[in-house]
Amino acid sequence: MIIIIEVLITVIVALLLTKICKGKKEKKIKKSIGFLIALELLLFISIPTTFALANPRLEIQDVVEIEVNSNKQIETPKTSYLCQNVSDNVKIIGEIDYNTVGDYEIEYEVPKLVGKYYEKHIIRVVDKTSPEIVLTGEEVVDLSYNKEYEEIGVTATDNYDGDITDKINIERKEISENQIEIKYTVSDNAGNLSTKTRTVNFIDDIAPVLTLNGKEKISVIKGNNYKEQGAKAVDEKDGDLTEKIEIEGNVDTSKNGTYTITYKVSDSKGNVAIKKRNVSVINQPVQAKTGANGQKGVIYLTFDDGPSTSITPKILDILKKKNVKATFFILNYDGAKEEIVKREVNEGHTVAIHGYSHNYKEIYKSEEIYMQNIKKLQDKIKKSTGYNATITRFPGGSSNTVSKYNPGIMSRLTKKVLDNGYKYFDWNISSEDAGDAKTSDDVYENVVSNLSKSRSNVVLMHDFNGNTKTLNALEDIIDYGISNGYTFSKITESTAMVTHSVNN
């Protein structure tokens, strides 16, 4: 602007000087020139002064903030001087620790036409970055409703303070019956706050409890009806679901085999419970004949091959507790076992003869040998207890085929024992405790599923050493019998014989 005015004045002066040469209004023009020259002189003096006084202009705030540890540094501010961009000439004086929060005073130095220009500023290294919260696991967690939420884990790291996990505040908020919110809050030393939430949904992933009525393994005699006993189902959330149980499977009682009945129930959330029952359709173990005087609905518990020191006393304890009398078909005994035989007699049970020896290959060699085998034991029992045992049971039963090495022996013996004043009993229910029964449940099922009210029930069991499955099933069998209207009795001379068909 100043320069333009100067040029203009110079041009005007030059013009006026030209006019003087034309000789008109000379005086007036001379005055003007004088004024203009004076003005021009003044301006020429003021212009350098103005230049000397003029300062660069820095486009910068008084306090500049810069984030700590951010790898950022201050830049030279945009600077203009005499309408020129002189940013490149700006020099920074002073030190800044960009890794430590604080105020740092620096100076900008800008060269001028005459001398240098300085401007002070505060550079503030600040922590304005919030800490970072990191959740272990998911932000939305599904948890079984019967479990308590336990903190899965959380950490907090700040750009300046480092690990501040121990400063995290954890709040638990109930959103609904099935949902909670975990709120994590942490603040760094500079007061920068961070929050994060985790949602925990309590879900129903628990299947109903399905319980079979009756045993998981049952037997049905071929030709009898299979009675579905059903099952019960209870769900902790949905309550009683018994009516929703689906039962699948058929039992064809006309065919031997094992049939599976499947019970299935699901709760409202689709959690499924499944149970299975194995139903074995079996033949009547042995076709038995019951004498005419057979008492219907009576259970004769019989124990073969004892006495044993480990099992027989415990069986006697149970029988005593339940006030049930039974029949023990015993073998030869010695020592402590004699006391057990005495106890059997004293507690009112029937001590019966199985045989002095159980060795099939010896005892069925001849009628004489067999008769000696029972007589020898009969005499021993009499000597021990004063009791005259006359009830017998053939080792292997009268239907045995192990005696076939002596053809016809069973046909002859079954008559001979009767002729000699003995009675013999087979059985019409086998617990299979010396056979297929593997557990006390098996023993229980084999017995109770074959009980019948329309006949006397002679139950074959064993009290040899180690036969805990029968020992453990016994009380349940007695309870079943009592609660289902059976009576228990021991075999006596007046009991109608229950015998098998002879096969040899």
Q: Which positions from 51 through 80 interact with Zn ion, judged by CB under 5 A?
A: none
Nearer to Zn ion by C-beta: 267 or 304? 304
- Structure tokens belonging to residue 220: 């049905």
- Determine the 3-state secondary structure of 383 from DSSP: helix
Instruction: Name the minimum Å distance from CB 495 to Zn ion.
Output: 19
Cβ atoms of 491 and 350 within 8 Å: the answer is: yes
Nearer to Zn ion, 203 or 371 (CB): 371
Residue among 133 and 460 whose Cβ is closer to Zn ion: 460
Minimum distance from residue 499 beta carbon to Zn ion (Å):
16
Q: Give the type of residue at 353.
A: I
Tokens 């109930």 locate to 174
Nearer to Zn ion, 104 or 364 (CB): 364
Nearer to Zn ion, 56 or 395 (CB): 395
The two three-digit tokens of residue 70, written as one number: 């951010």
Cis link prior to 285 (omega < 30° from 0)? no
Query: From the CB of 462, what's the least distance to Zn ion, in Å?
Result: 7
- For 164-238, where are the E strands, in sequence order? 169-176, 179-187, 193-203, 209-212, 217-221, 231-235
Task: State in angstroms the smallest separation of the CB of 304 from Zn ion.
Answer: 4
154 or 417: whose CB is closer to Zn ion? 417
Which distant-in-sequence residues (6+ apart) come within 8 Å of 373 by Cβ? 355, 356, 357, 362, 363
Q: One symbol per residue from 284 to 313: x for binding Zn ion (CB under 5 A), - otherwise; what is it?
A: --------------------xx--------
Residue reference for tokens 């290959």: 361
Q: With the C-alpha atoms ordered 383, 358, 394, 435, is the resulting torsion angle positive or negative?
A: positive
Tell me the closest approach of the beta carbon of residue 433 to Zn ion, in angstroms.
11
- Compute the least distance from the CB of residue 355 to Zn ion, in Å: 8
C-alpha to C-alpha distance for 228 and 247, rounded to whole angstroms = 9
Residue nearest to Zn ion (CB): 304
The DSSP call for residue 266 is E
Q: Smaller CB distance to Zn ion: residue 285 or 395?
A: 395
Cα gap 185→218, rounded to integer Å: 62
Give the HSE-up count for residue 437: Cα atoms under 13 Å, Cβ half-sphere: 26
Q: Does 235 bind Zn ion (CB under 5 A)?
A: no
Residue 453 Cβ vs Zn ion, minimum distance, rounded to whole Å = 28
Two tokens, residue 193: 């706050």
Whole-angstrom distance, CA of residue 147 vs CA of residue 259:
39
Size of the site for Zn ion (CB under 5 A): 3
- Which residues, numbered 377-416, are part of the site for Zn ion (CB under 5 A)? 395
Which of 231/330 has CB closer to Zn ion? 330
Distance CA 170, CA 155 (A): 11
Closest approach, Cβ 305 to Zn ion, in A, equals 5
Interacting residue ranges for Zn ion, rule: CB under 5 A: 304-305, 395
